[in-house]
Amino acid sequence: MKHAYVLLAAFGLLVSSVRAQQRQLVAPLGPVTDTYFGVKVTDPYRNLENPADPAGQAWQKAQAAYARHILDAIPGRQQLLEQMQSFENRKATAVTSLVVTDNNRYFYLKTRPLDQQPKLYCRNGYGGAETLLFDPASLALGPEWHIAKFQPAYDGSKVVVGLRENGVAAGVLRVLDVQAKRLYPEKLAAANGEASWLPDNSGFVYSGWSSSSATPQVLLHRVGTAGSQEQPVFSAPPSPKPGRAAAICVGARLDRDTRLAYGVVGGTGRYLHVDYAPIVALATPAADWKPLFRPEQEVTGFVTDEQYIYFTTCRNAPHQMIMRMPAAAPDVARAEVLVSESPTEAVLAAQLKVTRDGLYFVRCRNGVDARLYFVAKAGPAVEPIELPEPAGSLTLATKNAQCSDLWVQCGGWLRAGQRYRYSAAGHRFMPEPLSTHVQYPEFANLTVEELLVPLPEGGNVPLSLLYGNSLARNGTAPVLLSSAEAGVFFSPPMLLWPLQGGVLAMVHGRGGEEPQAMQPTAWKDLIACAEYLAKQRYTSPGRLAISGRGAGGLLVGRALAERPELFGAAVAEAACLNPARQATAANETDARAGFGTAQNQAGFRALLDLDAYHHLRPNTRYPAVLLTASLNDPRGMAWQPAKFAARLQASTVSGKPVLFGPDAGAPSDAPRQKQREALADLLAFGLWQTGVPAFQPQSAAMK
């Protein structure tokens, strides 16, 4: 009890002095005015873009310490952490990233309750004995290093393992001999953890740096040779603007079915920029790469078999259609429509799979109702496949295009994904679980409500609500409103919000497959949903919190800047909050994250309209805000939430806290304890600011 009083007193003291302390933490100014297409844009905190600036470093350090003190002292935060740990302790094993090779060898990442990072395992067949292949801790690189990606050779004899430090895209590739469980000597510096094997399993391509280029290229590596002998085989085209990087990233995929190599240029947003060349040509000094897809063709994904290249496109088809073209003479202009656009369901580009029997694909209605379809190689008819259970999301996996094997994972808001093996011959699903099945009786009284929220300009936006059966529609429930960038997913830690008597609200994109944050109207949709929830008496403005990460954080910042009176709290994690500057900075590419371009007047004005930083207004009553960043961010993006926090702290007159925690957030690849702590910060901060009693100190200092 004494400890509780001390905690409450400390918390009350910290919070009552929010305004005084933040006056002592005033960010150093470094104003710069730029002119773009006749528009003058003043940036008062340009200096915070420089990570080496001593004044900026001191300010960020002080902000981090202040935010940490406040967050750690919130009553109820520790209990959230304990509940999250309890959820994890129930699951003996969690298996992800399964790859099945030609010889039916299963490779996967597995995490046990005490593991902070997953380890690589394999087994021969589904029922085979499990073998631990690789534990990243064995290399003694440090606790922040983990397996980012892995790719076994077609014959299962070797595995490329991509290792990287948390929050950092670049890392190192190691090659593992599966039989001997021994690492080959080469250590390859890689721009990411991905690799694609040659058809004969003798080597692979990956994105890295050659001695002749300072920007990433696709390199060809022969297993057992030194990295210094790497041969560049694909590079991004040069930027049309002097001083700009050529591209965010490049990659390649080697396809043994079409015998083609596909070079992919990153940084073009949602739409693909892909070239192709014969795999055999990679051994020559200069392969003849030809265009396959360009962004203006609005292609979002593709798969292949020995005869065709199948691809999804939303050009003149918002819900997407599926087309195909001969691999021997690919030409998008001459491609045939295989699956026409549906008026009510959107094709999911990431769930396009080819087997010996034909093409499988997934369509989704309103982002929450996923359905499986099949087109046989013998005919063009689209055949719906009845699922073993209703699915909010579907994830498909195959072995290769020469086999009939298909695995399907069904997911929902209130249950973990169930994994099945589908028999095309028998038209039946057989359970084939890999992770431990866990019961969550706490969620038995939660319900899901799927809504279509009307928009002022016409049309509607899908909204999913998760709350307890006893919820009273009297305007008092705390609501956490977020963008459903990941679609329908099961997250026991996030369900702690409705267990506190609140409503978890997830906004989906307007009908199409496109992620909501990529839609220019997305932040307005967030506002429309907030207004709807208040009007329908689920909540009221002071009890409504919004949250988002990365591109989803852009929506949070923009909605917050536009309608500050609508929200009681906002949390933006590692958010893109200054896209206009992002697209014009000398070290950035023009199409970063797909938000637009600064190369023409219309594009720049669109970027400026999305820019939350430039929409903050002085002397405005803003709600409480928590901003996080990752100092390990490989793109140098930590300056965006830093600048936003500085300007917001200088602009608000509400007296509500504006907390900035550099490196307080946790990327998805962080150790599990750090992920739990970051999520506990988000939930506790939101529950505190939306008035939930268990998160309020019983102190007059809070009045």
pLDDT in tens, 574-583: 888 998 887 6
What type of residue is 1? M
Q: Mean pLDDT across the stretch 658-663?
A: 87
* CA 257 to each of CA 3, 57, 99, 308, 354: distance values in angstroms, whole numbers, following the listed order: 66, 52, 18, 9, 11
Residue 666: pLDDT band with limits 50, 70, 90: low
Query: For residue 7, is it within any domain?
Result: no
Query: For residue 69, is it within any domain?
Result: yes
Specify whether 124 is located in the same domain as 209.
yes
Sole residue written with tokens 């500085």: 646
Cβ atoms of residues 335 and 324 within 8 Å: yes
Residue 417: pLDDT band with limits 50, 70, 90: confident
- How much is the mean pLDDT over the chain? 87
Handedness of CA 347, 350, 351, 356 (dihedral sign): positive
Specify whether 510 is located in the same domain as 639.
yes
Lowest model confidence (mean pLDDT) among 5-19, 131-145, 363-377, 427-441: 5-19
**Coil, strand or helix: which one is 439?**
coil
Q: CA triplet 463, 465, 469: central angle to 5 degrees? A: 155
Quick one: pLDDT at residue 592?
43
- Where do the H-state alpha helices sit in 119-273? none
What DSSP letter does each residue of 455-503 carry, written as one string?
-TTSSEEEEEEEEETT---SS---EEEEE-TT-S---TTTTHHHHTT-E
Q: For residue 324, give the nearest of 345, 303, 353 by alpha carbon.
A: 303
Structural domain total, the chain = 3
Q: What is the pLDDT of residues 132-149, one digit of tens each?
A: 999 998 887 766 788 989
Quick one: pLDDT at residue 1?
41
Quick one: pLDDT at residue 211?
64
How far is 201 from 428, CA to CA, in rounded Å?
34
Q: For residue 295, give the nearest of 280, 313, 279 by alpha carbon.
A: 313
Query: For residue 14, is it within any domain?
Result: no
* CA 455 to each of CA 306, 518, 522, 531: distance values in angstroms, whole numbers, following the listed order: 46, 18, 12, 10
Positions of E strands within 496-580: 503-507, 544-549, 569-573
How far is 576 from 607, CA to CA, in rounded Å?
12
Sole residue written with tokens 């109702």: 369
Quick one: pLDDT at residue 669?
64
Query: For residue 103, is it within any domain?
Result: yes
The first and second tokens of residue 681, run together, are: 């910060």
Quick one: pLDDT at residue 665?
63
By CB atoms closer than 10 A (0-12, 13-18, 19+), residue 293 is buried
Query: For residue 309, is it within any domain?
Result: yes
Lowest model confidence (mean pLDDT) among 199-203, 265-269, 488-492: 265-269
Query: For residue 484, is it within any domain?
Result: yes
CATH code, 610: 3.40.50.1820
Bridge partners (DSSP) listed for residue 662: 629
Residue 264: pLDDT band with limits 50, 70, 90: very high
- Which residues touch 65 (CB under 8 Å, ≥6 apart)? none
**Coil, strand or helix: which one is 703?**
coil
Cβ atoms of residues 597 and 684 within 8 Å: no
- Which residues touch 590 (CB under 8 Å, ≥6 apart)? 239, 241, 244, 583, 597, 598, 599
What share of the chain has pLDDT > 90, as a percent? 66
Count of positions (residues) in the chain: 703
Q: Which of 437, 456, 479 is the last residue of a domain?
A: 437
Query: Which pairing describes strands 503-507 and 479-483: parallel, antiparallel, or unpaired?
Result: parallel
How far is 667 from 327, CA to CA, in rounded Å?
38
Specify whether 284 is located in the same domain as 391.
no
Query: For residue 526, is it within any domain?
Result: yes
Q: Mean pLDDT across the stretch 461-478?
A: 96
At residue 19, does pLDDT exceed 80? Answer: no
Q: Which of 437, 464, 488 is the last residue of a domain?
A: 437
Specify whether 543 is located in the same domain as 676.
yes
Specify whether 346 is located in the same domain as 332.
no
Cβ atoms of residues 466 and 503 within 8 Å: yes
Q: Mean pLDDT across the stretch 93-120?
A: 92
Q: For residue 352, give the nearest of 487, 513, 125 by alpha carbon.
A: 513
At residue 636, does pLDDT exceed 80? Answer: no
Kindly provide the b/e burial profile for residues 365-401, where b requires at least 16 CB atoms within 10 angstroms of the residue's own CB: bbbbbbbbbbbeeeeeebeeeebeeebbbbbbbbbbb
Specify whether 389 is located in the same domain as 525.
no
At 255, which helix (H) or strand (E)? strand 250-255
Query: Which pairing describes strands 544-549 and 479-483: parallel, antiparallel, or unpaired?
Result: parallel
CATH code, 175: 2.130.10.120
Q: Mean pLDDT across the stretch 291-315?
A: 95
Sole residue written with tokens 């030194």: 226
Query: For residue 168, is it within any domain?
Result: yes
Query: Residue 317: phi, psi to the nearest 5?
Result: -150, 80
Which residue range forms the structural domain that includes residue 47? 33-87+441-693
What type of residue is 26? V
Sole residue written with tokens 């005919």: 379
Q: Mean pLDDT across the stretch 26-45?
A: 92
Cβ atoms of residues 598 and 36 within 8 Å: yes
Specify whether 448 is located in the same domain as 587.
yes
Q: What is the pLDDT of residues 351-371, one digit of tens each?
A: 999 999 999 999 999 989 999
CB atoms within 10 A of CB 447: 15
Specify whether 616 is located in the same domain as 536.
yes
Cβ atoms of residues 650 and 27 within 8 Å: yes
Query: Residue 495: phi, psi to the nearest 5?
Result: -75, -5
CB atoms within 10 A of CB 665: 29
CB atoms within 10 A of CB 520: 11
Quick one: pLDDT at residue 584?
63
Q: Which of 290, 312, 340 is the last residue of a domain?
A: 340
Specify whether 257 is located in the same domain as 325.
yes
Q: For residue 287, give the nearest of 339, 220, 242 by alpha carbon.
A: 220
Specify whether 150 is located in the same domain as 276.
yes
Interhelix angle 672-689/77-90, nearest 10 degrees: 140
Specify whether 298 is located in the same domain as 365.
no
**Cα atoms in the 13 Å half-sphere on the side-chain side of 581:** 26
How far is 407 from 417, CA to CA, in rounded Å?
12
Query: Residue 170: phi, psi to the nearest 5?
Result: -75, 150
Q: What is the pLDDT of residues 391-406, one digit of tens each?
A: 999 999 999 999 999 9
**Residue 130 gets which letter from DSSP?**
P
Specify whether 204 is located in the same domain as 282.
yes
Cβ atoms of residues 299 and 332 within 8 Å: yes
By CB atoms closer than 10 A (0-12, 13-18, 19+), residue 360 is buried
